[in-house]
Amino acid sequence: MSNKNIISTTSGISFEQQEGQTILDASIEAASPINHSCRSGRCGFCKVKVLSGETLAYRQEELTPQEIEDNYILTCARTAISTIHIDADNLTKVNLPKSVTMPCGIAALTLLSNDVLKVVLRLPLIARLDYLPGQYIDITNSYGIYRSYSLAKAKVDEQTIEIHIRKIEQGAMSNYWFNQAKVNDLLTLQGPKGTFLLRDNIAKKDLYFLATGTGIAPIHALLETLEYLPENHQPRSITVIWGGRKGEDFYMDLVGELSNNLKNIHIIYALSNSHLTQTSLEEITFSNSSHYAQGYVQKLLLSLQPNLANSRVYACGSPLMINDAQELLIENGLDEKHFLADAFVSSGA
């Protein structure tokens, strides 16, 4: 008979873990997933503090000596060996769609800028891919190289899905996408994955989305879903701050696409270059002057909203931006449970 351990969390949820199962997998099985992304010990998003009980590590955890001393663990790397109590903000009643593996073909390749490619993938007619906006997939090409990419649309559209790929110099997968890929190429898809999902605590709150580069893709999917939320679930305000180094980095016309459908949305294209020149402004051809600013996305957020008590922040982009934003915003009063992030899973190296 297999042993089970009970895991309880500070959000008031309890679930069972089978012997040998990771704490994260047990939470997913119980439809109360702990925040996570990679499920393989790399991203750190499943980190929680153990308040009581014993756990055992399956693999190396990327934790600082201080975090280890403070009883932090990665839930994707550990199993409970007794009843445990953890400080975790689980999602509740969320049945994450089952991750599946299926073939898919390239339906279209469109250059959105010099270094960003939109890829539309066609799914097999009889296959079904369920995902939640904000999730990502892994794509493997015929050379066996795989990378993770966020889904840029809220749902499957006529058996197709969309991802955005950034060109990375000397990146093996990037080389495939930008120099070899052609329509009808066959690839393998695995997913969906991750919990970069809209939480149910955004009603009447000020909602901020921070993105750099193609980190805008999953945020675009989340924004598409906001339109359909009932009035009493709507946030009080929505602000998107999208950072880039040059005008061309803003490869989507978010203002044109979203302003008509979402009330109270404010979109800012943030140039992080220290010298904002007239040329760089003119490159943002689709935006009007009220939508650009100069500076780092996290600093702009703070200058717009110094009081973060009523705010919820979703960030996707470079790890540098995410780490800095998390530190800065929490230091300035944002509840750490109200900062949700996903790493740069759509970069395409």
Binding footprint of ligand FES on the chain (CB under 6 A): 36-39, 41-46, 74, 76
Q: Give dist(CA 54, CA 7) in Å, integer.
A: 11
- Which of residues 76 and 86 has its CB atom nearest to ligand FES in the complex? 76
CB of 29 to ligand FES, least distance (A): 15
Helix, strand and coil content of the chain, in percent to the nearest 5, comes to 20, 30, 45
- Which of residues 57 and 108 has its CB atom nearest to ligand FES in the complex? 57
230 preceded by cis ω (within 30°)? no
User: DSSP letter at 12?
Assistant: S
- Which of residues 163 and 343 has its CB atom nearest to ligand FES in the complex? 343
- Which of residues 39 and 147 has its CB atom nearest to ligand FES in the complex? 39
Count CB-CB contacts under 10 A for residue 1: 4
- Which of residues 308 and 341 has its CB atom nearest to ligand FES in the complex? 341
CB of 200 to ligand FES, least distance (A): 22
- Which of residues 196 and 242 has its CB atom nearest to ligand FES in the complex? 196
Sequence-distant (6+) residues with CB within 8 A of 72 are 47, 48, 49, 50, 63
Task: Count helices and strands (H / E) in the chain.
Answer: 8, 19
Q: Give dist(CA 159, CA 166) in Å, integer.
A: 24
- Which of residues 89 and 162 has its CB atom nearest to ligand FES in the complex? 89
* Selection from 203, 257, 204, 240 nearest residue 316 by Cα: 240
Amino acid code (one letter) for 227: E
- Report CA-CA distances (Å) from 169 to 97, 172, 188, 343: 34, 9, 24, 19
Q: Which residue has the tokens 């990378």?
A: 147
End-to-end Cα, the chain, rounded Å: 46
CB of 136 to ligand FES, least distance (A): 12
- Which of residues 149 and 208 has its CB atom nearest to ligand FES in the complex? 149
Report DSSP letters for 241-301, one per residue: EEEESSGGG--S-HHHHHTTTSTTEEEEEEE--SS--HHHHHT-TTS-GGGEEES-HHHHH
